[in-house]
Amino acid sequence: MRSQTPGTNVVLLSLSLLALVVWLGLDTVSLAANRIVPGTGYRIDEILGWGGALATCLPWLALVGIAWRPTRPRLVLALALVVLMLSALPAWLALSAETLVDIPGARLGIGAGIWVVLFLLLLALIELRTRLVLGRLLGWGLLLPPVASAGFCLARWLEPLALWQEYRSRSDQFLGAVGEHLLLVGVAVGTSLALGVGLALAMRRWPGVQKVGFGVLNFLQTIPSIALFGLLLAPLAWLSANVDWLSALGVSGIGWAPALLALVGYSLLPMVRNTFVALEAVDPGVVDAARGMGMSRGQVFRQVRLPLALPVILEGVRITTVQAIGLTAVAALIGAGGLGTFIFQGLGQAAMDLVLLGALPILVLALLVDALLGALTDILRPGGAE
């Protein structure tokens, strides 16, 4: 980018123009009298009239203007605008709820327009963050105002929001499901970390184990999760019927046992691969130097090899955890509980807000874990952040 006469930021320009079209053209909310009837969609001009609708376009036009001739201060202004608009989306839902809902028990659905605009705004946020070279922490901090705004609006005005109604009618179940989900993921990742490090060490000692081990784990990874859960059903059901102590433990063809087995199986490949690569990649010169200083083999491993390999191993933990969060959702099909239960219940009852109640937290969990472990990896990287 030239500093004197900056060229047009095509990305921001196209994002704002696209968002403007979507904002005016698609349904922003839908209203249904109860849970069974399909909702009626409302475009923004049907709620505010064309005058009001055009007034809400002003911030977008400002973004278009900034994108046309961007300078750094203007881009900062654009960033503030985007954060403001993100925070205004829940307020817009609240306003629609106040205007449209006239009978008690009516349900306000979030329309396609709002989802697409939300997506485009987040893209604009990423673009501006990259252009302005903002740090990771600040980038996340920018999401605080929208989240706070959403929380405030939910508490004050958004009682008719269908998603919120679904949550309130099963808030205990919801917390339980989040707990189950995290427990399954945690136990699976913990187990595979322990097994994975052991296996990686064995692979380093015996090349035969390496060839066979990677072969088996790669093979396992190709089998679709739903098929693996299904194939584990029969043998586990047989085991629990014939081995007393296993059935006493609660092992059966459905439930947590096949889910956990499959999760550990899937988690082992990224875990072992990263641990193995990390330990292999440690510079032999460093190890020689450590030995030369009189360190024992154990000391070299604990004080040199492991700390140097740690960031890459953590990278494995990150990949594994994100993958396990998604797979646990599928495990709900075989009765393992967790947030996937809401997804499949909702799909069965054609209750889309219930589906959202399962899918959105899974998405948020995956993104959070990814961001947290990513930040941790950066901190532990030698010569990385202090």
Partner 1 sequence: MTDPRRWLVPMVWLALLLAATLGMGQLEGLFRWLESDSRQVIYARADFLTLLGRHLLVVSVAAALAILIGVGAAIAATRPWGRDFLPLVSQLASIGQTFPPVAVLALAVPVLGFGTLPIIVALLLYGLLPIVRNTLAGLAGIEAGVMEAARGMGMSRGQILRQVELPLAAPVILAGIRTSVTINIATAAIGATVGASNLGDPIISGIVNGNTAYVVQGALLIGLLAISVDSLFSRLPMSGAR
Q: What are phi and psi of 108, to 5 degrees?
A: -100, 120
CB of 249 to partner 1, least distance (A): 21
CB of 277 to partner 1, least distance (A): 9
For residues 187 and 226, which CB has a smaller minimum distance to partner 1 in the complex? 226
For residues 41 and 57, which CB has a smaller minimum distance to partner 1 in the complex? 41
For residues 60 and 342, which CB has a smaller minimum distance to partner 1 in the complex? 342
**Are 313 and 274 spatial neighbours (Cβ–Cβ below 8 Å)?**
yes
CB of 215 to partner 1, least distance (A): 11
For residues 48 and 113, which CB has a smaller minimum distance to partner 1 in the complex? 113
CB of 14 to partner 1, least distance (A): 9
**Token pair 């929001």 in the structure block, residue:** 161
* Token couple for 189: 């990742």
For residues 8 and 303, which CB has a smaller minimum distance to partner 1 in the complex? 8
Name 335's Cβ contacts closer than 8 Å, sequence gap at least 6. 254, 255
CB of 294 to partner 1, least distance (A): 37
CB of 203 to partner 1, least distance (A): 16
For residues 293 and 360, which CB has a smaller minimum distance to partner 1 in the complex? 360
Rg of the chain in Å (alpha carbons): 26
Q: Which ranges in the chain belong to alpha helices (H)?
A: 10-25, 44-55, 58-68, 72-100, 112-131, 136-141, 144-156, 162-169, 171-205, 207-222, 225-242, 244-248, 256-280, 284-292, 297-300, 306-331, 340-349, 352-380
**Token pair 């009001």 in the structure block, residue:** 52
CB of 127 to partner 1, least distance (A): 5
Question: Which residues are at the interface with partner 1 (CB under 8 A)?
Answer: 9-11, 112, 115, 123, 126-127, 130-131, 219, 221-231, 233-234, 237, 253-254, 273, 322, 325-327, 329-330, 333-334, 340, 343-344, 346-348, 350, 352-353, 355-356, 358-360, 362-363, 366-367, 370
**Are 109 and 101 spatial neighbours (Cβ–Cβ below 8 Å)?**
no
CB of 302 to partner 1, least distance (A): 28
Q: Which residues pair with 31 in a beta bridge?
A: 40, 108
For residues 14 and 171, which CB has a smaller minimum distance to partner 1 in the complex? 14
For residues 11 and 88, which CB has a smaller minimum distance to partner 1 in the complex? 11
Task: Provide the residue count of the chain.
Answer: 386
Say if strands 107-110 and 29-32 run parallel, antiparallel, or are unpaired: antiparallel
**Are 210 and 220 spatial neighbours (Cβ–Cβ below 8 Å)?**
no
**Are 182 and 310 spatial neighbours (Cβ–Cβ below 8 Å)?**
no
